[in-house]
């Protein structure tokens, strides 16, 4: 970030390029990725053909594409079913994480008592709990999967929110003290806005984790409509092209979920997104 | 705000035998200030000048009730400092502009007014007025990080004055700026001070800055922090660019410098 010292200069007024220029720029940035993607598909297709790899071990992309269109009416609803678990668990985990974070930031005793455990739990594979949750809620009950996802999401959201609420510039707090601001104003005017970037980085990580959590917990059994169940059954039958079709759906939905979070971030804190852009 | 009428000539700030000891009762005990007496009158521009460690920032924080004294009292308009803070008598400007990254320039200036529940129309009018005062109207919708250091500091000054506090407390506000910007900011600050009639307490370690700005320079020494001398600066007002070339300006600078030097000679640990 460059700080121009001259007072008189019409400082960085043109800092943010016009919207249209931004779009062409962004498109140009996608070109290398698109080329790599196409090349990878061609290579995959070629390797399978040249080395005569059995179709049931690694199907060609063209075969997967054909299967995908054929199976779409099955994998799409399965994907939606699983995404409902992922998004539901994500929402639940985020709400709980933020509430607990607010409480811990308010009463430091709570945070001192809880944070070490939260950090410890955060670094354990929570998905390992899936079979237990399946028993608790019943194997076909989406609530079981949702609670797995919620637990997975809870810890990063809570830890990051606590960090954001507490790691506030001392000067910013002193300023509010000089205005004789109350505790609510301190929370609302400084702590929460300060925590937003931390929270969104947790949301982004958690959006990916929640899709993983939902699918993996379905591997341990679940409703027949679920994507994870479909993948594990098709794989068990060596129907790998079908399994791959479901994986494509999982990828697409995960990406869309992540994209929605990015979009919300942009809406909620435009200042941060453009600040980051100037720092790059 | 909330000040009851006081007898004529009574000081707006009265520092009465104030001491500040950090880490009291521990091995790391530091006596930052010892028995400070100082009266500041309404409309004065007073600088606290001294080497680092002389407790000038500590003294400013005691006046503004960001710190509590270990002994003695700070009175503002006859009230204790904590009451004065609750009455919103202080505008503060620090070395760092401490603008909120998530607020535009005008929203930053508006911050104290929001906290103090000003009605919307009054807020907007005040922000407009303040941005005019610091000549940043065109930048009202910019974010802080889009501004230069000098502009950020002007926003901070506008924010401090937005609620028309009786006292402006400034802690090395231009310390992070380059020399040219700094001199311009000093001119602007004097201009603002003359327009608003605010009492200013200004912490600095720059002798020319203190002399150029102040009506009185409070010279302080370190370990423990004490007031050595108070030097009246009777340079004519309004002070202009040429003031810095005035022979009397140099005389005053010399006077302050020698005062600081006397202490250096006295102190063995320099």
pLDDT digits (tens, 9 = 90+) for B20-49: 998 888 888 888 999 999 999 999 999 999
Tell me if A16 is assigned to some domain. no
Is the same domain home to B54 and B129?
no
Is the same domain home to B151 and B113?
yes
Is the same domain home to B159 and B173?
no
What was the ipTM of the complex prediction? Answer: 0.86
A62-87 pLDDT per residue, tens: 999 999 999 999 999 999 999 999 99
Is the same domain home to A241 and A201?
yes
Lookup result for tokens 């994480």: A97
A114-133 pLDDT per residue, tens: 778 888 887 878 888 888 88
Residues comprising chain A, all counted: 280
Query: If pLDDT is split at 50, 70 and 90, which confidence band does B106 have?
Result: very high
Domain that holds residue A110: 57-279
Is the same domain home to A37 and A169?
no
Alpha helix segments (H runs only) across chain A: 19-50, 61-106, 108-122, 130-137, 142-166, 170-178, 183-186, 192-219, 227-236, 240-268, 270-279
Positive or negative torsion for Cα B58, B59, B64, B69:
positive
Q: Are strands B45-49 and B216-221 parallel, antiparallel or unpaired?
A: parallel
Lookup result for tokens 């007002």: B237
Is the same domain home to A30 and A120?
no
Q: Locate B270 and state its tokens.
A: 């320099």
Instruction: Verify whether the Cβ–Cβ distance A275 to B94 is below 8 Å.
Output: no
**pLDDT of B266 strictly over 70:** no
Question: What's A274's domain CATH number?
Answer: 1.10.3720.10
pLDDT value at residue A8: 39
Tell me if B1 is assigned to some domain. no
pLDDT value at residue A221: 84
Tell me if A78 is assigned to some domain. yes
B131-148 pLDDT per residue, tens: 998 889 999 999 998 999
Tell me if B4 is assigned to some domain. no
DSSP string for residues in B137-162: GGGTTS-GGGS-HHHHHHHHHHHHHT
B264 touches chain A (CB under 8 A): no
Chain B CB contacts of A199 under 8 Å are none
- CB under 8 Å to B116, separation ≥6 — which residues? A179, B88, B163
Tell me if A33 is assigned to some domain. yes
Is the same domain home to A92 and A31?
no
Is residue B149 exposed (0-12), middle (13-18) or buried (19+ Cβ within 10 Å)?
Answer: buried
Number of domains into which chain A is organized: 2
**pLDDT of A7 strictly over 50:** no
Is the same domain home to A30 and A73?
no
CA distance A122 to A165: 19
Buried b (16+ CB within 10 A) or exposed e, A219-244: ebbbbeebbbbbbbebbeeebbbbbb
Q: What is the mean pLDDT of chain A?
A: 86
Domain that holds residue B132: 99-164
Distance separating the N- and C-terminal Cα atoms of chain B: 45
**pLDDT of A185 strictly over 90:** yes
Tell me if B136 is assigned to some domain. yes
Is the same domain home to B133 and B146?
yes
CA distance A206 to B187: 52
Instruction: Verify whether the Cβ–Cβ distance A11 to B66 is below 8 Å.
Output: no
Selected residues 181-240 of chain B with any CB under 8 Å from a CB in chain A:
181, 184
Tell me if B5 is assigned to some domain. no
**B87: distance to nearest CA of chain A, Å?**
8
Task: Give helix B179-196 / helix B120-133 axis angle, nearest 10°.
Answer: 130
**Residues A248-268, mean pLDDT to the nearest whole number:** 93
For A11, which of B86, B111, B147 is closest by C-beta distance? B147
Is the same domain home to A47 and A69?
no
pLDDT value at residue A25: 81
Is the same domain home to A141 and A257?
yes
* % of chain A with per-residue pLDDT over 70: 89
Is the same domain home to A26 and A136?
no
Question: What's B261's domain CATH number?
Answer: 3.40.50.300
Is the same domain home to B85 and B119?
no
Number of domains into which chain B is organized: 2
Tell me if A275 is assigned to some domain. yes
Q: How many CB pairs under 8 A join A and B?
A: 83
């Amino acid at each position: 970030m460059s700080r121009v010292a001259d007072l008189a200069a019409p400082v960085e007024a043109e800092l943010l390029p016009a919207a249209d220029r931004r779009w062409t720029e962004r498109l140009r940035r996608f070109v290398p990725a698109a080329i790599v993607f196409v090349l990878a598909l061609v290579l995959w297709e070629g390797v399978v053909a040249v080395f005569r790899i059995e179709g049931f071990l690694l199907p060609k992309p063209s075969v997967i594409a054909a299967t995908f269109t054929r199976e779409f009416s099955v994998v799409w609803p399965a994907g939606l079913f699983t995404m409902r678990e992922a998004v539901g668990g994500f929402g639940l985990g985020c709400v709980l994480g933020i509430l607990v974070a607010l409480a811990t930031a308010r009463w430091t005793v709570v945070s001192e008592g809880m944070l070490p455990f939260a950090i410890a739990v955060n670094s354990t594979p929570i998905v390992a709990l899936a079979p237990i949750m399946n028993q608790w809620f019943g194997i076909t009950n989406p609530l079981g999967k949702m609670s797995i996802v919620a637990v997975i999401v809870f810890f990063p959201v809570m830890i990051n929110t606590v960090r954001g609420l507490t790691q506030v510039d001392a000067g910013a707090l002193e300023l509010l003290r000089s205005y004789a601001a109350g505790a609510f104003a301190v929370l609302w005017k400084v702590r929460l806005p300060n925590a937003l970037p931390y929270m969104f980085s947790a949301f982004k990580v958690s959006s990916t984790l929640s899709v993983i959590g939902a699918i993996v917990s379905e591997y341990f059994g679940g409703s027949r409509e679920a994507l994870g169940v479909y993948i594990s059954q098709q794989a068990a039958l060596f129907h790998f092209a079908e399994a791959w079709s479901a994986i494509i759906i999982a990828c697409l939905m995960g990406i869309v979920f992540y994209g929605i979070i990015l979009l919300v971030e942009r809406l909620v804190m435009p200042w941060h997104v453009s600040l980051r852009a100037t720092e790059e | 705000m909330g000040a009851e009428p006081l007898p004529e000539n009574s000081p707006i700030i009265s520092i009465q035998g104030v001491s500040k000891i950090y880490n009291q009762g521990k091995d790391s005990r530091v006596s930052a200030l010892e028995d400070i007496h100082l009266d500041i009158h309404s409309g004065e521009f007073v600088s606290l000048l001294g080497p680092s460690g002389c407790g000038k920032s500590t003294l400013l924080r005691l006046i503004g009730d960001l710190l509590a004294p270990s002994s003695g009292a700070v009175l503002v308009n006859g009230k204790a400092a904590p009451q004065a803070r609750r009455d919103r008598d202080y505008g503060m400007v620090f070395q760092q502009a401490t603008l909120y990254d998530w607020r535009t320039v005008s929203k930053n200036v508006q911050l104290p007014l929001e906290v103090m529940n000003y009605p919307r129309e009054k807020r907007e009018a005040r922000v407009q007025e303040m941005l005019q005062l610091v000549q940043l109207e065109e930048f009202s919708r910019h974010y802080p990080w889009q501004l230069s250091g000098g502009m950020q500091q002007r926003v901070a000054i506008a924010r401090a004055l937005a609620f028309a506090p009786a006292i402006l407390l400034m802690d090395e506000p231009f310390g992070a700026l380059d020399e040219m910007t700094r001199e311009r900011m000093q001119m602007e600050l004097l201009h603002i001070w003359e327009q608003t009639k605010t009492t200013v307490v200004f912490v600095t370690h720059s002798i020319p800055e203190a002399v150029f700005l102040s009506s009185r320079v409070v010279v302080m020494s370190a370990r423990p922090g004490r007031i050595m001398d108070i030097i009246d600066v009777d340079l004519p007002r309004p002070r202009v660019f040429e003031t810095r070339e005035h022979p009397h300006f140099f005389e005053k600078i010399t006077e302050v410098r020698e005062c600081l030097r006397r202490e250096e000679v006295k102190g063995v640990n320099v």
